[in-house]
Every structure is written in C-alpha cells, then in structure tokens.
C-alpha cells in the first residue's frame, strides 16, 4: 500500500535510530545522573526530547508502561501531539489497552485524533512494520473518525501482509465497515472468514444490533448454536435486547431456556435482560418470576422491573416494589424515581406525577433534567401555569437553562398554557435554538391565529440557517384549517411542495380534520380522495376525521364503509377511532351499532363513555344513559363536565325533572365540577319545556355567567310552546341584541305571536326582517336510498317522483283518519283557512321523505332514516307515529341534534321534545 503523504512528524532521535554497537556502548557507559530524577520535572519540550533520546539508548528494562505514559503526557502538555502519537505506537506493547485514555488525554490538550493516523502513515513510509494489535488500533480510530478511505487502504495493507486472518483484526474490520460503510459490508467480512471464533460471532451480533437488524441478530445467534460455538453473557444480553426490540417473545423464551440449561440464571446482567425482554413483550408475570427467583439483585434489577410495570400501566405493582426496596435495604436511585414519574405520565395520572415529585424531594433527591421534563409535560396537561413557573425558577437556580430538552419543554409548557409572552421570553433567552424550539413557538402563535408573527418567525429561521421542516409546515396547515381558513391551508401545502417537501399523512389529515371541524364535510371527503390519489394511505386520525364528517352529514352508509376499511387495516382498536365510530353511528341513526362498538372496545376511554352516553341521550334513552353513567366507577373512569352535559341532556330530552336536578347538584357536591354554560342550558331547556317557565327564568337570572344565545333561544322556544308572551318577548329582545342577523330568532317570535293569533305583530316582525335583509331559513329533509341521497324542500326543483309520493301520502292520511288522526293545523303559522293549512301540512318535507322511503323499501324490514335540519312539528311527529303503526316499520327521524325513534305508534321521546 502506498502511504498517504503527510507532513514530517518524527523527532530527530527516532529518525536516526542507534546501531546495536552504539546502543550497547551507551548502555555500558550510562550514568543515572544524566537523567532527571523524575520525568514529571521536565520544564520544556527540548528537555522532554533529550530524555526521550536517553531512554531509547537504554536497555528495554528502562522502558516501562509507567515511563511511556509519563513521556506521552509530557509531549501532550508541550503541544507535540505527533511525537506523543509516535511514542504511543512504538512504546506500548499492548497499546490498544490504553487507546481510550490516550484519546481522551489527546483531546484534553487540544489535539486532533487525525494526527494519530498521520503518524501511522509516516512510520509506515519509514519502513516500520506494525503488528496486528497496532493495525487493530488504527482500524478502531478510522471507525471512530469515520475515515472510510484511510481504512480501506489499511485493509489493503492487511491483505498484502497476510494479517487479515487475525481474529482481532477481523473484529476491527467489521466494526469499521459497520460504522463507516454499511452492515452488509461488515457481514461480508464475517461470512468470508473460514473459521468463526467466539469473538467474531460476538462482534457480528453486536454490529447487527447497532444497525437495528433485529432479524439478522437472531439468525446469527441461531447459526452460532448450530456451529456449537459457546457464547458468553454479553452476547446473550445483546440477543435478549433484540428480542425486546423485535417483540420476539417465543425466541426470548427459547433463549431463557438456553440460559437455564447452561446454568447462567444466576448472572445478574442476564436476569436483568430477561426482565426487560419480558416487559417489552407485555409479559409482566414472567418478568416478575425472573425477578423473584434472582438470588442477587442490583439496583438495575429493581429499576428494570419497576420501569417495566410503569410502562405497561401496572402502577400499583410498581409502587409496591418501590416500597419493598426499603425492606431489602436497596436505596432508590434518581432513575427509579424517574421511572415512577414517566410511568404515571404515560398513564395520564398527571396529579400523581406532581405528588411523586414532592415525595422525591422530601426523600432528599434532587430532580434532574429527566424529572423536570416529565413534570413539565404533566403541567401542560393540567394547565397549572403557576406551578410551571415554579419549575422554571428551579431550572434557573440549578443551571438547567443550558439543557436544550429542558428549555424546549419549558417553552412548550408556556405555549400549552397560552402564555405566549413568557414563551417568547424563554425562546429569546435560548442560546441554541433548534428546529424543535422554533416549531414549538410557532405552534403557540398558530393556535391563536397570529399568522403575521409566524411569517416573521419563518424569516428569522432562514436568517439563522434553519429551514422549516415538514413539522413546521404541518403545524401551519393544522392552524389554518382548524380556524376554518381552508384556502390558506391549501396554500401552505403548495408551498411545502415547492420547497421540496412532500406532504405526508399528517399534512393531509390536518387539512381534512379542519374541514370536518368547521362543517366543510364535503371538502373533507374530496381532500381524502386527493390524498389517496397521491399514494398516501389514511391513518386512524384521518379516518376519525372522516367519520366526524359522516356524523355531521348523517351519512350512515359512508360511515359503515370507513368502519370496514378500519377493520381490514387493523385500525379499529385505536381509541380515537372507537370514539369517532360511536359518535358517527349515534348521529347517523344507528344507536345499536354505536352500542356494539362501545361494548366491543377493549380500551374504553372517558371520551368513548361520554360519546356513548351522549348518543343515548340523542334518542331520549335516559334510563340507559343514566345506567351507563353509574357503571363508570366500576371501570375506574372519573366523569368530567362533558359527561354531565350528556347526562343532563338525556334528562332534558326525556323530561326527567327530578333526575335533572339530582345530577346538576351531584356534579358540584360529589365531583367538584363547576357547572358551565352548557349545564345551565340543559336545565333551562328541561324546566322550560316541562312548563316550569318561572323556574327556568330564575335560573337565567341567578346563573353566575351571562346567558348566551343558546340559553335565550331555548327559553324562547319554551315560551312559544307554553304561550308565555311576556317572557318570550324578553328572550327575543336579548337574541336580537346578540344575533341581529339570525333569521331563526325572528321566526321563533313570529310563531309565538301566531299561536296567540296576534297577526299584526307577525306582520310587524316580518317587515322588520325584510328591512334588515333577512329571509326565512331553508328547510329541508333528506333520505338515502341505496347510494343516492334524495332531498325534499319547499324551495327548488320538485322531486321526480312527487306525484307517486303525494298519492301514497294521501292514502296514508286517509287510513290515519280512520284511526282518529286529526291534523294539527295550529302548526301552520299563517293567517289562512283551515283547509289551506291542511294542504301546507301535507307538503312538510319530513312527511314526503318518510313516504318516499316507504315506497322504495317495500318488503324491507330495515329502518327508514330521515334527516331534517330543523325541529319537527307536532303534526309530522303524530303522522310518523301512525305510519310506524300502520306499516309496521321503524322510523328514525333526526331533527337538529336529536333523534326520534318511532316504533309501533310510539316515539322514544314520549312526546317530550
């Protein structure tokens, strides 16, 4: 091999080594007085070289490892790094034993490890023949410095000198290729070696483990056993690590059997690896068995079992073991405490995280950066800004402000707690800002719609040499789309593509989610098709967003298709999918399917319980909803304010006044949940519709917050039903102030006047609407037959089968009248004759949709599902009951946010709506 040309680096003594006769003469005439008493007393580089020359002239007995190390240190101290490297190569017989300490000392004095390779090249040029240990050392340095070409030349030298069969060199070569090239080249070195010694197997397994080639590690270990090569504990440890990473429980059990057969179960390292392997494979019972059978446990053993329990959510067992450490006189380490913190954080027990922190401090342990990060994440979820500021002070007092992970977590805490001023202060004080810090800050400003500042941040990023990454753009897409700015979100997607980044599933899901959240349901489906056209498969979050759109449009058939897709792709067990499916089925008229999804869910979260209780409330199944509420404690699920909104809604929809008061008081008394505006809305609606207008008015007058449009709208509706003009006028006046451009408020007041035959006031309100440019809202109903949606409305083009529909409807009305049906003409709020009012009633969109469903599904037992955008009138409600009886069909009619379930002449709402 031709040596690489490097600058001269050898000192004059080594350039002209003494002849044997001259060396003998020097030794015979050597006087100790010529040497300083102590090498450490050398005062200059010149004196070090003089000493070096005298040592070279002496016999080998003078060249000890201690003197060699001292000589190297002196060269390093005076900055002669190349001479130090030369002594290192030629002075130690086993220099590979001192490599790490030498490199550390070299760097400590400002030296460059590359100079070691320069010295090797110069010595090689001068004819120095290195042994296998020296060349092994050089290969290790090449690997650590990622010097691929130098290492290839050294490999060529090995082949020329026939040293490439040395097992230590082979191991060094595998390490070199694994670090500087690829694992394929490293494995090639292994497989081309004729005799595989134990050390070579160990290196092959280690290199594949480092390269995360888990299957290859197991295959190598299996071949090793077939070759009858005895393994050591470190190789077994590495293979068990692989089983943990790969989720290979069966292979892990086999290795456990190997451990027992070879009487290695007393080795602490192997037992700890077995515990970790079983825990990572969701086998806490087997892990605990290994732990209990250990004769000698170290701190790592306790940490492994406690960490495993916390990660799997077995917190009670973890805490019991933590207490047992005191019994066995094992003092917990900061790592042990951090395991408890992270485990409770993973289990979403955020208050417990703070409690453990306190206990940790009382026990005399000082939280480190890992502890602080876990606590800050818990504070983010709890919204405890004040406590977050205390942690910030702790960070400053203890010098953690230079820790990038801690400061980024602090920044995230302030952002999640909507304190952008403090977040910006933390950011400005950061010495090193990486892309994660920028993205965290940008996410905070995006969440509140401050896009002007965000654009300036992007400019500053560019000035600092940091390019926006995929996460940056995804944050902006999510921010724009969640605020309903779909066009701007699309612009970001285009900008992302022009910058060379391809939108991923997160990008598209953010856009689709924004559409579904803001009512752009058709756009959500359109973008999902575009996403798949670009070859990106939807994930569980994408499907959950599409299910939200299905729920918004009550598209049951489309929702079922998405459900089937999630089953085929193994996404149905996702907790977000479960909640979305329950919500979709509930809002699409299939509460039975919703309940089946809920019952079959392996993991029921609070959100899924709330969704199911709310779904039952939509159908006025109050008893079932309340029963489900009382089952929550058995599943260790704590109800929240949303749960009580669902329970109170079920009471409201079924007219259960006593139960409504009971749960309204219960949320404050037993669960310490302060009622919000939505809880007061439920109570006002419940009391008002039941005829307790004065009680509802008292709640409005005494509630601790200002009534909103929902409360006043509900109260006005109750006043209309019970013909209370005085309070109704007050409610209408408040609505006109809050929503002057909402025509529904004017219509409600007009209907109240119409019920009381105050036609002049009706005309007055109608004139007021015209003056303000307001028109009656578009009222429609629709039904899906197979894959086609049929819309019925007083406006627009009549349905193509209108004649057949009216013929069937007249026949139905005739049959109903024979059973005692009387048209409720008071539902028509017009000053016209009774016969005209009957004709108007026959044209109500829900009647037409139900009738069309009967025509098109004759002979079918499937329910008829009709969706209406406004509240059903009492006449249509009565007609639906009669039809369900006459045709023996179940009719599900959605008006607004609730369903009427008609069967055998009865409705689930018990005529309370």
Interval 563-621: pLDDT, tens: 999 999 988 888 899 999 999 999 999 999 999 999 999 889 999 999 999 999 999 99
Q: 62: number of CA atoms within 13 Å, CB side?
A: 16
Does the pLDDT of residue 702 top 90, yes or no? yes
Closest to 850 (Cα-Cα) out of 823, 821, 825, 886: 886
C-alpha–C-alpha distance, residues 580 and 563, integer Å: 10
In this predicted structure, what is the pLDDT of residue 411? 93
In this predicted structure, what is the pLDDT of residue 97? 52
Q: Stretch 639-668: mean pLDDT, rounded?
A: 94
In the chain, % of residues over pLDDT 90: 50
Q: Stretch 196-224: mean pLDDT, rounded?
A: 77
Does the pLDDT of residue 39 top 70, yes or no? no
Bridge partners of 903, per DSSP, are: 906
In this predicted structure, what is the pLDDT of residue 104? 59
C-alpha–C-alpha distance, residues 423 and 410, integer Å: 8
On whether the CB atoms of residues 580 and 547 are closer than 8 A, the answer is: yes
pLDDT band at 910 (very low <50, low <70, confident <90, very high): confident
User: Tokens 């699309």 label which residue?
Assistant: 490
Closest to 373 (Cα-Cα) out of 411, 422, 420: 411
Report DSSP state, residue 502: P
70-79, 320-329, 406-415: which range is least confident on average? Answer: 70-79
- For 166-188, write each residue's pLDDT tens digit: 777 777 777 777 777 777 777 77
In this predicted structure, what is the pLDDT of residue 231? 79
* Token pair of 450 as six digits: 């401050």
C-alpha–C-alpha distance, residues 102 and 336, integer Å: 35
Cα-to-chain-centroid distance, residue 95? 49
Task: Give the Å distances, CA to CA, from 538 to 496, 541, 571.
Answer: 19, 8, 10
In this predicted structure, what is the pLDDT of residue 481? 93
Across the chain, what does the average pLDDT equal?
84
In this predicted structure, what is the pLDDT of residue 254? 87
In this predicted structure, what is the pLDDT of residue 9? 32
Residue bearing the bigger pLDDT, 426 or 32: 426
The secondary structure of 749-795 as a DSSP string is HHHHHHHTT-HHHHHHHHHHHHHTT--PPPPEEEEEETTEEEEEESS
In this predicted structure, what is the pLDDT of residue 14? 35
94-108, 433-447, 560-574, 602-616: which range is least confident on average? Answer: 94-108
In this predicted structure, what is the pLDDT of residue 239? 85
Task: Give the Å distances, CA to CA, from 649 to 604, 699, 707, 892, 913.
Answer: 21, 17, 18, 19, 12
- For 859-902, write each residue's pLDDT tens digit: 888 899 999 988 899 999 999 999 999 999 999 999 888 899 99
CA dihedral 797, 803, 805, 807 (to 10 degrees): 150
Q: Stretch 32-61: mean pLDDT, rounded?
A: 58
């Amino acid at each position: 091999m031709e040596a690489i040309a490097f600058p001269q680096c050898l000192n004059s003594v080594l350039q002209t080594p003494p002849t044997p006769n001259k060396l003998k003469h020097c030794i015979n005439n050597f006087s100790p007085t010529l040497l300083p008493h102590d090498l450490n007393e050398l005062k200059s580089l010149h004196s070090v070289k003089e000493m070096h020359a005298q040592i070279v002239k002496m016999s080998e007995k003078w060249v000890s490892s201690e003197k060699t190390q001292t000589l190297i240190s002196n060269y390093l101290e005076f900055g002669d790094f190349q001479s130090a490297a030369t002594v290192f190569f030629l002075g130690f017989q086993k220099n590979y034993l001192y490599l790490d300490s030498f490199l550390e000392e070299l760097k400590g004095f400002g030296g460059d490890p590359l100079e070691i390779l320069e010295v090797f090249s110069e010595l090689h040029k001068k004819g120095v023949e290195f042994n296998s240990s020296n060349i092994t050392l050089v290969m290790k340095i090449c690997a650590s410095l990622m010097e691929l070409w130098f290492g290839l030349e050294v490999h060529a030298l090995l082949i020329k000198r026939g040293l490439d069969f040395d097992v230590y060199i082979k191991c060094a070569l595998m390490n070199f290729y694994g670090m500087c090239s690829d694992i394929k080249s490293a494995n090639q070195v292994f497989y081309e070696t004729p005799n595989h010694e134990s050390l070579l197997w160990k290196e092959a397994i280690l290199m594949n483990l480092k390269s995360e080639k888990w299957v290859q590690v197991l295959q190598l270990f299996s071949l090793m056993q077939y070759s009858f090569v005895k393994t050591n504990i470190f190789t077994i440890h590495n293979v068990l690590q692989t089983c943990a990473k790969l989720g290979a429980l069966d292979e892990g059990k086999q290795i456990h059997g190997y451990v027992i057969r070879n009487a290695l179960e007393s080795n602490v390292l192997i037992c700890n690896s077995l515990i970790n392997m079983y825990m990572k494979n969701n086998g806490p019972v087997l892990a605990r068995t290994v732990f209990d059978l250990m004769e000698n446990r170290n701190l790592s053993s306790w940490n492994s079992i406690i960490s495993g329990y916390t990660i799997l959510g077995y917190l009670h067992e973890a805490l019991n073991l933590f207490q047992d450490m005191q019994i066995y006189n094992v003092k917990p380490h900061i790592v042990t405490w951090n395991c408890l913190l992270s485990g409770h954080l993973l289990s979403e027990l955020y208050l417990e995280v703070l409690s453990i922190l306190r206990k940790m401090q009382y026990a005399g342990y000082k939280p480190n950066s890992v502890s602080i990060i876990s606590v800050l994440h818990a504070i983010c979820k709890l919204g405890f800004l004040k406590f977050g500021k205390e942690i910030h002070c702790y960070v400053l007092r203890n010098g953690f402000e230079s820790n990038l992970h801690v400061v980024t977590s602090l920044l995230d805490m302030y952002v999640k707690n909507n304190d952008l001023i403090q977040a910006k202060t933390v950011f400005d004080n950061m010495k090193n800002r990486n892309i994660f810090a920028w993205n965290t800050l940008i996410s905070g400003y995006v969440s509140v719609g401050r896009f002007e500042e965000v654009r300036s941040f992007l400019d500053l990023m560019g000035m600092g040499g940091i390019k926006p990454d995929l996460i940056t753009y995804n944050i902006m897409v999510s921010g724009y789309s969640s605020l309903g700015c779909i066009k701007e979100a699309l612009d970001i997607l285009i900008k992302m593509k022009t910058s060379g980044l391809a939108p991923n599933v997160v990008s598209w899901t953010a856009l689709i989610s924004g559409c579904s959240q803001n009512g752009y349901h058709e756009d959500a489906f359109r973008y999902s098709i575009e996403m798949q056209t670009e070859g990106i498969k939807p994930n569980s979050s994408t499907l959950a967003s599409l299910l939200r759109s299905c729920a918004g449009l009550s598209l049951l058939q489309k929702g079922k298709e998405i459900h089937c897709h999630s089953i085929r792709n193994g996404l149905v067990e996702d907790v977000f999918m479960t909640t979305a499916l329950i919500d979709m089925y509930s809002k699409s008229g299939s509460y039975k399917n919703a309940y089946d999804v809920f019952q079959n869910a392996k993991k029921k979260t609070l959100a899924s319980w709330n969704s199911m209780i709310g779904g039952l409330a939509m159908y006025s199944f109050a008893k079932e909803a309340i029963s489900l509420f009382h089952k929550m404690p058995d599943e260790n699920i704590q109800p929240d304010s949303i749960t009580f909104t669902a329970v109170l809604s079920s009471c409201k929809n079924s007219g259960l006044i006593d139960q409504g008061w009971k749960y309204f008081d219960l949320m404050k008394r037993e669960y310490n949940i302060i009622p919000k505006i939505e809880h007061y809305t439920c109570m006002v609606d419940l009391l008002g519709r039941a005829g307790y207008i004065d009680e509802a008015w008292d709640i409005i007058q005494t509630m601790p917050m200002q009534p909103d449009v929902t409360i006043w709208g509900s109260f006005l509706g109750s006043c209309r039903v019970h013909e209370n003009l005085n309070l109704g006028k007050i409610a209408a006046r408040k609505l006109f102030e809050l929503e002057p451009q909402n025509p529904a408020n004017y219509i409600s007041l007009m209907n109240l006047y119409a019920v009381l035959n105050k036609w002049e006031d009706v005309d007055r309100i109608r004139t007021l609407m015209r003056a303000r440019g307001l028109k009656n809202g578009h009222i429609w109903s629709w039904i899906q037959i197979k894959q086609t949606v049929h819309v019925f409305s007083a406006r627009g083009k009549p349905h193509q089968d209108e004649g057949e529909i009216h013929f069937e409807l007249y026949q139905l009305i005739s049959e109903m009248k024979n059973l005692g049906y009387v048209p409720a003409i008071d539902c028509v709020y017009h000053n016209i004759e009774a016969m005209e009012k009957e004709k108007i009633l026959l044209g109500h969109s829900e009647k037409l949709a139900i009738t069309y469903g009967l025509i098109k599904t004759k002979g079918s037992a499937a329910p008829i599902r009709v969706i209406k955008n406004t509240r059903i009138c009492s006449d249509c409600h009565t007609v639906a009951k009669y039809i369900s009886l006459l045709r023996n069909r179940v009719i599900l009619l959605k008006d607004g946010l609730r369903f009427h379930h008609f069967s055998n002449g009865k409705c689930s709402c018990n005529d309370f709506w």
